[in-house]
Amino acid sequence: QVQLVESGGGVVQPGRSLRLSCAASGFTFSSYGIHWVRQAPGKGLEWVALISHDGSNKYYGDSVKGRFTISRDNAKNTLYLQMESLRDEDTAVYYCAISRSRPYWGQGTLVTVSA
C-alpha cells in the first residue's frame, strides 16, 4: 500500500534553513507528481509546492516562493523540501501527498521556527 513518511522537522531559529524529506513506497514513485502541504497551529491547510514526476516542473505557493525549493530523487524514492530564510509563520506540520485514484498523505513532520 502507499506509504509516505516525512522526516527532518525540528526547532530552528528565524532566518535559518532546514531540509525535509519524504520517503515513499508502495507505488511507482517516478510516475507521480508529489506535493508538500502544511498546516500552521490553529490554521487551515495550505498547499506549499508541487514537483512533476520527473522533476522538470516545479510550482510554489506565494508564501514560500523564492525561499523553498522542492526536489526529488527517483532512484531513492524520496522527495525533499529545502527551506531557507525561515520565518515564524513557517511554523507548521508539513505533509507530503500524492494523488493516484485518491489523495494519499503522510503523517507529517513538525517544523517550529522560534528564537
Partner 1 sequence: EIVLTQSPGTLSLSPGARATLSCRASQSVSSSYLAWYQHKPGQAPRLLIYGASSRATGIPDRFSGSGSGTDFTLTISRLEPEDFAVYYCQQYGSSLWTFGQGTKVEIK
Pairing between strand 34-39 and 45-51?
antiparallel
Q: What is the distance between the alpha carbons of residues 16 and 5, in angstroms, rounded to a whole number?
A: 24
Q: Minimal distance in Å, beta carbon 107 to partner 1?
A: 5
CB 12 within 8 A of CB 20: no
Which letter, b or e, does each residue of 34-52 get, where b requires 16 or more Cβ atoms within 10 Å of its Cβ? bbbbbeeeeeeeeebbbbe
Shortest Å distance, C-beta 68 to partner 1: 15
Residue entry with cell 503523517: 107
For residues 12 and 18, give the distance between their C-alpha atoms in angstroms, rounded to a whole number: 8
State which residue, 39 or 63, has the beta carbon closest to partner 1.
39
Cβ-based nearer residue to partner 1, 35 or 72: 35
Nearest residue (CB) to partner 1, 9 versus 33: 33
Distance in Å, CB of 113 to partner 1, minimum: 19
Closer Cβ to partner 1, 14 or 47, answer by number: 47
Provide, rounded to whole angstroms, the least separation between the CB of residue 80 and partner 1: 19
Question: Footprint of partner 1 on this chain (CB under 8 A)?
Answer: 33, 35, 37, 39, 44-47, 50, 59, 93, 95, 99, 101-103, 105-108
